[in-house]
Chains A and B, each alone.
Chain A
Amino acid sequence: MGSALAFLLLFLGHALATPLRWASDSQSGAPFVFHDPADQAKLTGFETDLMQVLARKMGRTPVFVQNDWDGLIPGLQRGLYDVVIDGIEITPEHRAVVAFSTPYYRTAERIAVRRGTDGLDTVEALRGHVVGTLKDTTSQRLLEKAGGITLRSYEDETNAYSDLANGRLDAVMLDAPIAQYYAVPDDRLKLAGGPIGSLSYGIAMKQGDAALLSAVDAGLESMRRDGSLRRILQDWAMWTPEMASYLDDQSTEQVPPKAWDHWVASTRPTASLQARLARYAGFLPLIGRAALMTLAVSACAMVLAVAWGLALALARRYGRWPLRGAATLYIEIVRGTPLLIQILFIFYGLPSIGVRLDPFLAGVVALGLNYAAYEAENYRAGLQSVPHGQMEAALALNMTPAQAVRHVMVPQAFRFVVPVMTNDFISLLKDSSLVSVITLTELTQAYIRLSTTYYDYLGTGLLIGGAYLLLGLPFVRLARIAERRLSRSVRATQPR
């Protein structure tokens, strides 16, 4: 009886615990937060493990929120989640916008080169060479300061190491954990020289929340004292003498690096076709879900674009001047600014004036409002191509101007614009990839995730490209049927 009650309390306690919403970009790769190469549905990484333990220490339930790297900090400001953990370096620039926990990992930069390259083992030695790194990192600043180095800044470490292996770069300098996970397992690459500089990763949160900050710090301190932080790092083969002295942990306990071994085993290039096909088959659930997301966002956005676009076109063609002017202004503004900015503006900008849309809705609204401007111009051209005599005939038959537009002009304008609309929808399918910046996992996001995990841009590219084509084909076909039906009545109704 007593134990049952205790169990119930424990259960309730767990269920009622406030969630700790933590965000990361699972595309930014190993060993931080990423999808298990052997099982795309599984989130893994040493930070993932760390957050599970930390949340428990804080008495909260960890809830993962995916966000694009560039959106991680804005998302904090927006209140989409409580904390961000993604190998974010504690720098003065970052401190200016967010609050940091005490560092949970300290490390240094490492240089990687192709096997057979010698002598490139210090920053000074890199002068006169082409060197890759990630943008906005300590490494980038070190390389810039050295001078005389042709610097290539990447968004993604896989691309950097891939270009190193291909010979586009002479060296890559990045955080030691990244070098360990991407350069060391690659037979074509090796590390050169020793650690350079030093950097610390911290958990980022919104400034001014002292309670959250001290709770996170207390949790980390507890993980230090009971050795759970060390065991996680050992599991990922990231336990270094430097960390031992930083955490003041001289334990001799041996924890086998199972997570590291798993990474090395599961990313080893698979030579056999069969293994490759088996791997691709494993991608299908992810691609399927991503394709559904792409389709859902695009279809909803298109419905909005058609309705709003028609309203704008009618306002421009038949509205009185204030309405006509407003519609024209809207169209010019929307067509004259990048879609990406509009998406970010709607998702991250509008909340500051009290309009909070969830990611899906924000994506649909942004794409829909953007495409409406283009649709409006199509429809206006369509309306203009209906002979004026049609309008006069309708008015002479005692229809009101509104009835004439509704029953005579719009239906006939429609048949002119069907081919263009098909085009627009297919282009919308592809532009929907931009909503990946507001945490939606659609096809392009899936491609980036899969290809960066496996260095396989070719095979996954073909798979994802195929998925886009399959999504677009039914609409091309549908449009052709619609065109054929409409063209029954088309041809010139004019005698000459």
Chain B
Amino acid sequence: MTVAPGRPPNQVVCDSGAETPASGEPLVMVRDLRKSFDGQVVLDGISLSVETGDLISIIGPSGCGKSTLLRCLNLLEVPDSGEMRLVGHGIVRDGGRWRRSDERLAHALRTEVGMVFQSFNLFGHRTVLENVMLAPVVARRTGRAVAAKEAMALLEKVGLAQMASRYPATLSGGQQQRAAIARALAMAPRVMLYDEPTSALDPELAEEVLGVMRQLDDEGMTQLVVTHEMRFARAASDRVIFMDSGRIVEELPPETMFTIPSDPRTRQFLRNYL
């Protein structure tokens, strides 16, 4: 994709209204993404592409930029420069100021992307069911009855049907995170992003959450997971990305990554875990 001269730096490019990318084009494509905070380079030219149905694990030491990359993908962080295409929505950044009007781009893009946070971020003043219903009712104007029915189905899927009327504060961490996944799924995203979804959980509670992610993988969901769960990354991923210092060091099938990584930095990192 080329940028015509004189074009504003930010531009959403929709493929003639079609939400599905042209055949052969990856569902998520990132090219040379850069981001700095106060002069500190966090993303130093990231390029990657993700095919429909992939489960990609992103691993790397703290501060390597993996969370920032994920947050850039739904524009919770605005990249300084680079190019992204997600499910037919394109954005090109050329160092220009992010204006308030550009929020509209972010809004359009986020319709396709669900996000799950390390700290769950469930809405404390709403029950589990209401948490799942809220976005469809508010942002998509779905009728309450329909939204409730769909939300209930999603809660059943993540095994929380009997918790529907509880408040988040009364749930275990694993239950909260599963509720958060159901909440993200309620907006019918094409891509799910997970930012260290199990880091705050005990191993057995983490397993509940990873189970849900495996199930979604079986159903063909495209997922990107920033994680420290090496066993999960190894067992469930289609590919594993190792990042360090704002760059992708290598991107390998899990077996290769965890047995014969080629880069010494990867070996060093994995030694601490395995």
Interface residues of A (CB under 8 A from B): 320, 387, 389-390, 392-401, 403, 407-408, 411-412, 415, 486, 488-496
Contact = CB atoms under 8 A, between A and B. Distances in A.
Interface string B76-92: 10000000000000000
10 residue pairs, one from A and one from B, having the closest CB atoms: A393-B121, A397-B135, A396-B115, A493-B124, A495-B200, A491-B169, A389-B121, A489-B167, A398-B139, A399-B139
Contacts of A395: 76, 106, 110
Given A392-B76, A393-B123, A400 B117 contact: no
A411 B76 contact: no
Nearest to B112: A398
Contacts of A400: 107, 139
Contact of B119 (A389, A394, A412): A389
Contact of B169 (A393, A493, A496): A493
B111 interface: yes
Contacts of B169: 489-493
Given A393-B117, A493-B124, A495-B200, A401 B103 contact: yes
Residue from A387, A399, A496 with most neighbouring chain B CB atoms (10 Å)? A399
A411 B103 contact: no
A392 B167 contact: no
30 contacts: A320-B100, A387-B121, A389-B121, A390-B124, A392-B117, A393-B117, A393-B122, A395-B110, A396-B113, A397-B110, A397-B114, A397-B183, A398-B139, A398-B140, A399-B138, A407-B138, A412-B123, A489-B124, A489-B125, A489-B127, A489-B167, A491-B124, A492-B169, A493-B122, A493-B124, A494-B119, A495-B119, A495-B173, A495-B176, A496-B200
Contact of A390 (B113, B123, B187, B200): B123
A207 B222 CA distance: 85
B108 to A, nearest CB: 9
A399 B135 contact: yes
B256 to A, nearest CB: 32
A476 to B, nearest CB: 23
Contacts of B180: 393
A399 B121 CA distance: 15
Contacts, number: 95
Contacts of A495: 119-120, 173, 176, 200-201
Interface string B156-200: 000000000001110001001000100110010000000000001
B187 A398 contact: yes
Given A397-B187, A495-B200, A496-B200, A403 B176 contact: no
B74 interface: yes
Contact of B125 (A401, A412, A496): A412
B151 interface: no
B119 A398 contact: no
A399 B124 CA distance: 17
A482 to B, nearest CB: 13
Contacts of B103: 401
Given A393-B115, A400-B107, A408-B123, 7 more contacts: A393-B121, A397-B134, A397-B183, A399-B135, A489-B127, A491-B124, A493-B176
B76 to A, nearest CB: 6
Which of B115, B122, B126, B135 has the most chain A CB within a 10 Å cutoff?
B135
B123 A396 contact: no
B107 A390 contact: no
Contacts of A399: 135, 138-139
A412 B110 CA distance: 24
Given A489-B125, A493-B122, A496-B200, A396 B74 contact: yes
A389 B124 CA distance: 12
A411 B103 CA distance: 24
A78 to B, nearest CB: 46
A493 B138 contact: no
A412 B131 CA distance: 13
Nearest to B109: A398
A340 to B, nearest CB: 39
Contacts of A492: 169
Contact of A403 (B115, B125, B126, B138): B138
B160 to A, nearest CB: 16
A394 B126 CA distance: 13
Given A489-B167, A495-B119, A411 B110 contact: no
B84 to A, nearest CB: 16
A177 B139 CA distance: 75
Contacts of A320: 100
Contacts of A392: 76, 115, 117, 121
Nearest to A415: B125
A396 B107 contact: no
Contact of A397 (B139, B173, B201): B139
B43 to A, nearest CB: 18
Interface in B54-91: 74, 76
Contacts of A494: 119-120
A395 B113 CA distance: 11
Contact of A412 (B107, B124, B127, B184): B124
B128 to A, nearest CB: 11
Contacts of B76: 392, 395-396
Contact of B168 (A389, A415, A486, A493): A493
A415 B123 CA distance: 13
A407 B134 contact: yes
Nearest to A320: B100
Contacts of B167: 488-489
Interface string B12-42: 0000000000000000000000000000000
Contacts of B114: 396-397
B91 to A, nearest CB: 16
B113 to A, nearest CB: 8
A488 B124 CA distance: 10
Given A489-B169, A495-B176, A403 B123 contact: no
A403 B117 contact: no
B169 to A, nearest CB: 4
B117 A389 contact: yes
B32 to A, nearest CB: 24
A220 B124 CA distance: 75
A412 B122 CA distance: 12
B135 A398 contact: yes
A297 B180 CA distance: 46
A408 B135 CA distance: 10
